[in-house]
């Protein structure tokens, strides 16, 4: 979809609460789309370029180059081109197929996500080639968003694509958190953990970050291609040992994790600017809920844990109303973050779909309520759905086709189940990626 288009949402809203939940979700996503967040960050003021609080004189730089990786990187590059016009010299972004934009000066490459492919390696080589031509007279603006870890790759010696794919598959199936996954990825790459910074040296570098990781840790978002300082993020070795992956990972990967050391050459300093995150989306959702006449409560913008566990809890909360917060009645619950799924079955689905499936029995028969859970990027797992919207009728629709949520969860086949319940949300690529939104509503009385 074009970054200028309004967000199109395909979903079956069967009651007022469901219709309002979609409106609230739309507001949250619109607030973190690339054109919105970069419009608040980038501007031209006479002969100067403003990036957040930073000012750069155009005449001081031979070139202004846009480089990026992530599911929202092409949308970010398009928004930057709209603002900067012919100040942009050239550039390169890598994104997931279907998430491209019509760019004028920046080249777009496509690669695999969530598991890297040959396109990821080709993108890494192309990025290294472009970066190798940068000088101290150049300004490199790096546009980073979620998905960059898989999309852009330049493996260390002794690690090949098969090793990377097997490692990513094992990590995604074991239920590891995104920071644990990235801790492993950083050990296997020449572009992560500050690697891109070293490739771009001696250029002046500013990294604009659309964060999809709770707390915005710069070492973790996209595996920190421009960040090299030590952090509290878990080590790759600790992740492997915690999940007992020694027998599942390729031997060269195991050896690398045991030997990996932080880089000694940190490269030039890099300014990082967080242009948007899940809190931005949550705040916009809360404001829209209030406009619609709800009394909203943000339970957390740091949601994490097993999707089916958090989903069952959320469903129970929607069922067991009225809700109160500091003695005030509340009829809209909002959460943001990113859960995980431990894959044991061979079905198809995603974390948002697991969440909704686990919540469905609690909502059965509740006429005036709805629960929405969907990714802000428009994709949930390897499916065409962003997530799900369930209400008091959803369970009966699925049961009528001989399907139960328990069977769906056991097989990790929640997509099939929710499709039967007419409960899937489809948006296509949204031009952003900051995590997931959860909206539970009790429609106010007329």
Domain boundary (220, 244, 276) is at 276
What is the number of H-type helices and E-type strands within the chain?
A: 16, 17
Token pair 């050896």: residue: 255
pLDDT of residue 4: 59
In this structure, the answer to whether residues 268 and 397 fall within a common structural domain is no
Q: Whole domain around residue 154: which residue ranges?
A: 36-276
pLDDT at 1: 44
pLDDT value, residue 322? 66
DSSP codes, 122-147: HHHHHHHHHHHT--TTEEEEEEEETT
The last residue of one of the domains, among 276, 309, 334, is 276
Q: Nearest-CA neighbor of 71 among 380, 387, 424? A: 380
Same domain, 73 and 52: yes
Residue 155 and residue 78 share a domain? yes
State residue 6's pLDDT score.
79
Structure tokens at 407: 């069977």
Per-residue pLDDT, 261: 65
pLDDT at residue 342, as a whole number:
92
Show contacts of 10-13: CB within 8 Å, 24+ apart.
Answer: 10/425, 10/426, 10/427, 11/389, 11/424, 11/425, 11/426, 12/389, 12/422, 12/423, 13/370, 13/389
Shared domain for 67 and 169, answered yes or no, is yes
The verdict on 178 and 285 lying in the same domain is no
* pLDDT recorded at residue 267: 60
Q: Cα(273)–Cα(230) distance, rounded to whole angstroms?
A: 18
- Choose the final residue of a domain: 243, 276, 309: 276
* The total number of residues written for the chain in this structure: 446
My answer on whether 145 and 207 are in the same domain is yes
Q: What is the dihedral of CA 191, 101, 5, 42, to 10 degrees?
A: 50
Strand order in the sheet with 369-375: 296-303, 332-337, 436-442, 369-375, 387-391, 424-425
Same domain, 44 and 180: yes
Provide the CATH number for the domain around residue 307: 3.40.1480.10
Asked whether residue 153 falls in the same domain as residue 85, the answer is yes
Please enumerate, as own/partner, the contacts of 44-53 that have beta carbons within 8 Å and a separation of 24 or more.
Answer: 44/83, 44/84, 44/87, 49/84, 49/87, 49/139, 51/141, 51/206, 51/208, 51/271, 51/273, 52/273, 52/275
What pLDDT does residue 328 have?
A: 73
Same domain (yes/no): 298, 258? no
Spell out the per-residue pLDDT of the chain, length 446, in tens: 445 577 899 999 999 999 999 999 999 999 999 999 999 999 999 999 999 999 999 999 999 999 999 999 999 999 999 999 999 999 999 999 989 999 999 999 999 998 899 999 999 999 999 999 999 999 999 999 999 999 999 999 999 999 999 998 899 889 888 778 888 988 999 999 899 999 999 999 999 999 999 899 898 899 899 987 554 456 899 999 999 999 999 999 999 999 876 544 556 679 999 999 999 999 999 999 999 999 999 999 999 999 999 999 999 999 987 677 666 789 999 999 999 999 999 999 999 999 999 999 999 999 999 999 999 999 999 999 999 999 999 999 999 999 999 999 999 999 999 999 999 999 999 999 999 999 999 987 65
Residue 169 near residue 116, CB atoms below 8 Å: no
- Indicate if 261 and 308 belong to the same structural domain: no
pLDDT for res 2 = 47
Same domain, 257 and 319: no
Of 357, 310, 316, residue with least CA distance to 337:
310
366, 395 in Cβ contact below 8 A?
A: no
Same domain, 49 and 184: yes
C-alpha 106/C-alpha 158 separation (Å) is 32
In sequence order, the β-bridge partners of residue 49 are: 44, 56
Residue listed under structure tokens 């978002």: 221
Whether 91 maps to a domain, the answer reads: yes
Residue 373 lies in a domain: yes
C-alpha count within 13 angstroms, C-beta hemisphere, residue 15: 20
State the pairing for strand pair 54-57/63-69. Answer: unpaired
């Amino acid at each position: 979809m074009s970054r200028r288009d309004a967000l199109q949402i395909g979903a079956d809203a069967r009651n007022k609460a469901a219709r309002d939940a979609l409106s609230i979700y739309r507001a949250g996503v619109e607030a973190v789309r690339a054109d919105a967040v970069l419009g608040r960050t980038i501007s031209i003021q006479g002969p100067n370029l403003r990036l957040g609080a930073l000012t750069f004189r155009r005449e001081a730089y031979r070139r202004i180059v846009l480089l990026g990786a992530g599911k929202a990187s092409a949308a970010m590059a398009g928004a930057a081109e709209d603002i900067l016009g012919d100040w942009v010299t050239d550039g390169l972004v890598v994104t997931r197929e279907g998430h491209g934009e019509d760019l004028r000066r920046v080249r777009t490459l496509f690669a695999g996500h969530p598991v890297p492919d040959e396109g990821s390696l080709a993108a890494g080589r192309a990025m290294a080639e472009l970066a190798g031509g940068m000088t101290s007279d150049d300004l490199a603006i790096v546009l980073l968003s979620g998905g960059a870890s898989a999309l852009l790759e330049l493996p260390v010696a002794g690690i090949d694509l098969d090793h990377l794919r097997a490692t990513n598959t094992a990590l995604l199936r074991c239920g590891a958190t995104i920071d644990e996954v990235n801790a492993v990825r950083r050990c296997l790459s020449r572009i992560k953990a500050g690697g891109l910074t070293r490739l771009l040296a001696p250029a002046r570098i500013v990294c604009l970050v659309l964060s999809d990781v709770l707390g915005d840790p710069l070492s973790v978002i996209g595996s920190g291609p421009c960040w090299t300082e030590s952090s509290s993020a878990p080590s790759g070795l600790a992740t492997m040992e915690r999940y007992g992956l020694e027998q599942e990972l390729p031997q060269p990967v195991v050896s690398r994790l045991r030997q990996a050391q932080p880089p000694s050459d940190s490269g030039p300093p890099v300014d990082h600017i967080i242009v948007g995150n899940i809190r931005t989306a949550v705040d916009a959702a809360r404001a829209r809920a209030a406009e619609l006449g709800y009394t909203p409560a943000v339970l957390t913008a740091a949601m994490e844990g097993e999707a089916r566990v958090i989903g069952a809890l959320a469903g129970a909360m929607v069922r067991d109303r009225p809700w109160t917060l500091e003695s005030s009645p509340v009829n809209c619950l909002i959460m943001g973050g990113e859960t995980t799924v431990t894959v044991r079955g061979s079905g198809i689905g995603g974390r948002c779909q697991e969440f909704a499936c686990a919540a469905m029995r609690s909502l059965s028969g509740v006429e005036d309520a709805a629960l929405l859970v969907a990714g802000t990027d428009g994709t949930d797992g390897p499916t065409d759905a962003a997530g799900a919207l369930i209400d008091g009728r959803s369970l009966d629709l699925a049961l009528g086709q001989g399907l139960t949520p328990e069977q769906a969860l056991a097989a990790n086949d929640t997509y099939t189940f929710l499709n039967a319940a007419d409960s899937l949300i489809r948006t296509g690529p949204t031009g952003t990626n900051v995590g997931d939104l959860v909206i539970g509503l009790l429609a106010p009385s007329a």
